[in-house]
Amino acid sequence: MEHIRTTKVEQVKLLDRFSTSNKSLTGTLYLTATHLLFIDSHQKETWILHHHIALVEKLALTTSGCPLVIQCKNFRTVHFIVPRERDCHDIYNSLLQLSKQAKYEDLYAFSYNPKQNDSERLRGWQLVDLAEEYKRMGVPNSNWQLSDANRDYKICETYPRELYVPRIASKPIIVGSSKFRSKGRFPVLSYYHQNKEAAICRCSQPLSGFSARCLEDEHLLQAISKANPANRYMYVMDTRPRLNAMANRAAGKGYENEDNYSNIRFQFVGIENIHVMRSSLQKLLEVNGTKGLSVSDFYSGLENAGWLRHIKAVMDAAIFLAKAIMVENASVLVHCSDGWDRTSQVCSLGSLLLDPYYRTIRGFMVLIEKDWISFGHKYSERCGHLDGDPKEVSPVFTQFLECVWHLTEQFPQAFEFNEAFLLQIHEHIHSCQFGNFIGNCQKEREELKLKEKTYSLWPFLLDDQEKYFNPLYSSTSQKLAVLEPNTVSFNFKFWRNMYHQFDRTLHPRQSVFNIIMNMNEQNKQLQKDVKDLESKVSFRLLDNFQLAFQVGRNACSHLQYYTEQLQTVNDIGPFSLPRVALGTKICIVSLENQNRCGSHSHGGRHVHPQDLSSPGWRTREAGGVIRSKSEGLRKGER
Binding residue positions for substrate: 273-274, 336-342
- Residues serving a catalytic function are 336
Q: What is the identity of the amino acid at 545?
A: F
Do 416 and 359 form a contact (C-beta atoms < 8 A)? yes
Residue 288: name the closest of 296, 298, 279 by CA. 298
* Distance separating alpha carbons of residues 268 and 241, to the nearest angstrom: 6
The number of angstroms, rounded, from the C-alpha of 266 to the middle of its chain's C-alpha atoms is 38
Enclosing H/E stretch for 499: helix 496-499
- Convert 480-514 to b/e letters by CB count within 10 Å (16 or more is b): bebbebeeeeeebebbbbbbbbebeeeeeeebebe
* β-bridge pairing 234-238 and 264-268: parallel
Q: Are 456 and 127 in contact (CB under 8 A)?
A: yes
Q: With beta carbons less than 8 A apart as the criterion, state whether 411 and 486 touch.
A: no
Yes or no: say if 558 and 587 are a contact pair by the CB < 8 Å rule: yes
Contacts of 127 (CB under 8 A, 6+ apart): 362, 365, 456, 458, 459, 462
Torsion angle of C-alpha atoms 401, 282, 15, 52, degrees rounded to 10: 50
Name the helix (H) or strand (E) containing 158.
none
Pairing of strands 66-72, 35-40: unpaired
> How far apart, in Å, are the Cα atoms of 10 and each of 7, 88, 403?
10, 11, 43
Nearest to 408 by CA among 399, 419, 397: 419
C-alpha distances in angstroms, 287 versus 78, 103, 196, 373, 581?
A: 16, 34, 45, 32, 98
Label the pairing between strands 331-335 and 198-203.
Answer: parallel
Helix axes 396-410, 419-431, angle to 10 degrees: 170
How far apart CA 312 and CA 280 sit, in angstroms, is 14
User: Do 203 and 335 touch, CB atoms closer than 8 A?
Assistant: yes
Round to whole Å and give the CA distance between 616 and 621: 17
Q: Please, which residues have CB within 8 angstroms of residue 398's CB and are 6 or more apart in sequence? A: 281, 426
Q: What is the C-alpha radius of gyration for the chain, rounded to an integer number of angstroms?
A: 40
DSSP 192-217: EETTTTEEEEEE--B--TTT---HHH
Alpha-carbon span 607 to 627, nearest angstrom = 11
Amino acid in position 265: R
Helix axes of 274-288 and 307-326: crossing angle, nearest 10 degrees: 130
Residues in the annotated binding site: 273-274, 336-342
The kind and range of the H/E element at 252 are: none
